[in-house]
Chains A and B, each alone.
Chain A
């Protein structure tokens, strides 16, 4: 801000503010550095120090090599990628179409449809009735469970609507006068102007799909269909010493065999690091768009 002269108390306040903000910032990344350090810690260090240390005296990458060779993660990666692509595309399609329709003041019954969406905010259907519906539709234990039920959401529709309402109506009218039909207006005028909102909501949806493991916990228990987040969850709660697990999931023979050969914790941490990499890759893009997305959302639908 302004002011060249600072009083003593002002200076102390500035210094303290910097210290606190920097400490919070460090607190946000340092724990993750420990995960990285644990992932490269070999058995010898563990035996010598009695556990993981902040800076291991020697390192190796066996845990990564091992994870990438035998990993359940690689199979899961395929599911995750398929799910992110199909799920995000599908969700963007359905929600943007609805948002566009609801952005037109001449849509008959617009108020009614908006009310319907608001009502969907109010009722969170219980887990079991929801499960029954998905089971009836033969979605349970299928890949489609990941992408179909969650595709439409009132929140995303309202953000799209907000965006489309902000587009200048003159563009559309000019195109219409030039003889463009509705589809041409949509594809040649509206869509090219909408990349920011598609990018923002698409990134959010993609991160949501990448991070979701609860859908697998509840509805898709077939391990062959588990995405990265779910495999990571299974791996982390797996406790070879007990033979069971901490988080209430099942004993897995395959996992037990794979974990027994390595310092289990190092392998777990290597997998945590591997699962984080994709998020770090898209993070710069996320940052570019999320503030915008958040704020459009906050200024109510």
Chain B
């Protein structure tokens, strides 16, 4: 008996450790491609930014062959009249998006949640989620159908009413409203999902008790619904700080034109146009470098703030 008892665990242990080496090996094989990808397409471009910022990069000579030029690119970036303009545009567009776009999904979610008819609730959700899945070119197509200065539906309608419509593509004051309204249109429904999930987590008993106590709808909203979604609101608001330098590359690229660069050109579009298409690689990299550095600070701040105020961060 003794022998059996002492031998068996030893055997089992040996088999398990054997297993475990094989298991480890398999897991590493499974993990390797993803790690390779992250290194090649995330870490390497991040690392080569440093030499590229301090060199006069020439695409023919390559990174190692290009001569160092010290702080020249940084200086050029700072001194470029475009830099401050695109930085300001980026921040202004982001803040406008945030201030105009933060509450509409919340309001829609609360109202949807309050609807007594489940059918209407479901249909409303299906319909309002749809624009999220449409590509920006399709959204731009819709904008053209409505507002094209020559023959858009709304433009024609105004003309028939005897009102002279403005050319929203020509006058730069219209650029940002167009950008932000179409952005809200695309994402309002999708933005409700996370709030509807939080709302469905509220105990129905709370509402029942409130109704029994004779609470009016606004009292219910104020004392039950709002506290129920407040943590999610705080979380999303703090996390949105991390995206301040991303003002929506795709959408801006599609919507902007040389007529409104003054108010529409953002860091991403500028780096693409001037840096890449205009072959000012070193300058574009320097500006992109600052974007990455500030972006890193913003995301760390946002995560910290979210952990502090909402008790949950990005990681």
- By a beta-carbon cutoff of 8 Å, the part of chain A in contact with chain B is 1-3, 7, 9-10, 13-14, 17-18, 20-22, 24-25, 27-29, 31-32, 34-35, 37-38, 46, 49-54, 94-95, 97-98, 100-102, 104, 106-108, 113, 116-133, 135, 137, 149-152, 154, 157, 182-183, 207, 210-214, 217-218, 229-230, 232-233, 236-237, 246-248, 265, 268-269, 271-272, 275-276, 279, 283, 286-287, 290-291, 294-295, 298, 300-301
What CA separation (Å) do A244 and B161 show in the bound complex? Answer: 32
Q: How far is the CB of A22 from chain B (nearest CB, A)?
A: 7
Q: Is A31 within 8 A of B30, CB to CB?
A: no
Q: Which residue of A lies closest to B277 (CB)?
A: A248
What CA separation (Å) do A35 and B289 show in the bound complex? Answer: 41
Q: Is A126 within 8 A of B276, CB to CB?
A: no
**Cross-chain pairs A/B with CB under 8 angstroms, 29 sampled:** A1-B204, A20-B107, A21-B115, A24-B188, A28-B130, A37-B153, A49-B156, A51-B153, A51-B155, A53-B156, A98-B33, A98-B35, A107-B27, A129-B48, A129-B49, A132-B45, A132-B63, A133-B45, A133-B48, A149-B41, A157-B34, A183-B26, A213-B135, A232-B138, A236-B141, A236-B144, A247-B253, A272-B142, A283-B133
Number of A-B contacts (CB under 8 A): 305
Q: How far is the CB of B35 from chain A (nearest CB, A)?
A: 7
Partner of B42, one of A46, A125, A137, A230: A125
Q: Is A52 within 8 A of B151, CB to CB?
A: yes
What CA separation (Å) do A35 and B157 show in the bound complex? Answer: 15
Give the number of chain B interface residues (Cβ < 8 Å): 108
Please indicate the chain A residues that have their CB under 8 angstroms from the CB of B37 in the complex. 94, 151-152
Classify the interface of chain B: helix, strand, loop or mixed.
helix
Tell whether A265 pairs with B151 under 8 Å between CB atoms, given A128-B276, A129-B46, A157-B34. yes
Q: Which residue of B lies closest to A149 (CB)?
A: B41
Q: Is B268 within 8 A of A124, CB to CB?
A: no
Most buried by A among B49, B189, B284, B315: B315
Most buried by A among B217, B258, B292, B296: B217
Q: Which residue of A lies closest to B299 (CB)?
A: A122
What CA separation (Å) do A100 and B28 show in the bound complex? Answer: 10
Partner of A128, one of B128, B159, B288: B288
Determine if B1 is an interface residue (Cβ-Cβ < 8 Å): no
Partner of B31, one of A113, A128, A301: A113
Q: Is A21 within 8 A of B38, CB to CB?
A: no
Partner of A300, one of B44, B218, B275, B314: B314
Q: Is B137 within 8 A of A129, CB to CB?
A: no
What CA separation (Å) do A246 and B117 show in the bound complex? Answer: 46
Please indicate the chain B residues that have their CB under 8 angstroms from the CB of A34 in the complex. 142, 145-146, 153
Instruction: Mark each residue of chain B from 10 to 34: 1 if its CB lies under 8 Å from any CB of chain A, else 0.
Output: 0000000000101110111011011
